[in-house]
Structure 1
């Protein structure tokens, strides 16, 4: 007996030892998992904060040092090959120091500068070429307005001699020249792709360089020749590149929610979050294999049946009760007649009629007819179904039939005495 008990206890001891060894490993795995989740949350928060607080990346469009499709490095290199000196300036405060009498100022739309800063910068340049346009630029230098026309091709068709050998271009934007402003590369409605204005001592030209002078479009049509005609008339080009960091626009920012929040709120929120995380780790559910546990009480099937019956009676739902009674009778008759589990009620009715040797269709109304409308009809139908089951049992097992008179069904499906 002692040997048997020891042999029976040995596997349990091994299992306990293995369980004790597995618990530390499972605890470490959970801690590592939580650590990975916390690190991922911290990393995602840092990346989101970086994306929100970082200034927009601007300045690549028409940048003389930009190698991309929207840059203008190709045009700057062509100017250098033609003997012109190209100086790139990224601060508007340094532009005036780079300008002299033989210098051309080139720049894209200075959206980050005030009107005063733009006019002050252009005032010191004998020749200015605006490589991009906006309604503000047209208004600031009184060059004209935007025009809706966009011809497929346009030639110089103006009195400016430097455009004589440019050929044709496909402009991206057209303008209506103001009074005293020359328009070149015109369309049928008189709009022009290049505007030339100013005075004898100060010349200002404007063209939509986003589709003419960028690296992706410079080799098309006469775009390169037009760029040389605008920028290559002097021996030196000062190319100003606007940027968000060079803006002189200042203003008072509205108070944010963080500025209006007292200083103790953020530490309190962090403390609550840490407390919630600690509580979740302390009282959280430990995931593991499912454990089968027996119920403290045993619920008998008869109690469930009686409970459903009481609910049906309380609701006075005779059709629902009749459907349940019929379903049970059909299922039991199908088993007794060896018809299978998925047989329909009308098939059971025909099989029972054949077994009782009564005409087919006699039991169709009883097993698959309309439901009763009141309790009296429900009781009558239940009695007839019970008598039908007794009759089928008697027909299937005549040796086990009781010697006392029992009920049978007449050709119309009603019970009769034997």
Structure 2
């Protein structure tokens, strides 16, 4: 009777294949978990559960961590059911409140009010006697005796409306961008911008502190930021509604095919072989070569765009701003940090492309100077 080495050979191959399959399974599980945990929750501006830059999930989470009972009201009926005399009603996205009956209903509800960036119709119904002033506020120091604003200090509103009144005893802060008064047994607070309460705006200056102080004045907060006209149903169709039902079985079969191909190829995987790179190119040579290409083609516009883009990518995180921030807000934030002129900062960061090599060199020097000032401030 003869014996062969088939048993040990198959066992050795199965050992190698087993680790390949385990690695593929681990990569798949980690990829799916990462996608589920890091995918932002889409939503509208100031929507309580939205994790997009314009959403308000961050401030709502902070308020709940501090013990505030935040109730997300998706409709006027939800507001009526949740609001109590000792609670605070926050109203945002007011351009969707176009129905006079809905505004009258809101005006008759009990509790204090916090109106965020209200349009004229909402302001006249919920904060009568208040009118917009002719000035615009970008934030800065509070310059008032309102405790919530004094504790927050400097804030960055972006572009904000300002308010005034003749017959009301107003407390006005931030050049009129934030006002408060008492009327009919309730406290009414009006703020002319919502940017400081969004996920993208909380990290700037004292924005988070002011948002917490204004929205956390009561133990119960009813958050009402309608994303469509009151009474209008959401008939939008998502991309998943367009996917045929059987496509999931097709995906499952493709995954099975991938696993079989991996098993087939995994039996022939040999040991790793270390190989030296044929050419090592220094980073400085790459940059210099790219610069020569720009110069040979007289592509000063592309060179300037590359310099400005790189400068913004390094500067914006230090200012707590995102890539979606408008140029005016970025210029204002840089000027506020460095003490410079917003117009000059905006020219160097977003101005026209240079027309000569000397202007391109001057642009690079100015961008480097701005970066150093932001980093050292």
TM-score by length of 2: 0.46
Q: Mark the structure with the bigger radius of gyration.
A: 1
Say which structure, 1 or 2, has more relative contact order (CA 8 Å, 6+ apart).
Answer: 2
TM-score, scaled to structure 1: 0.41
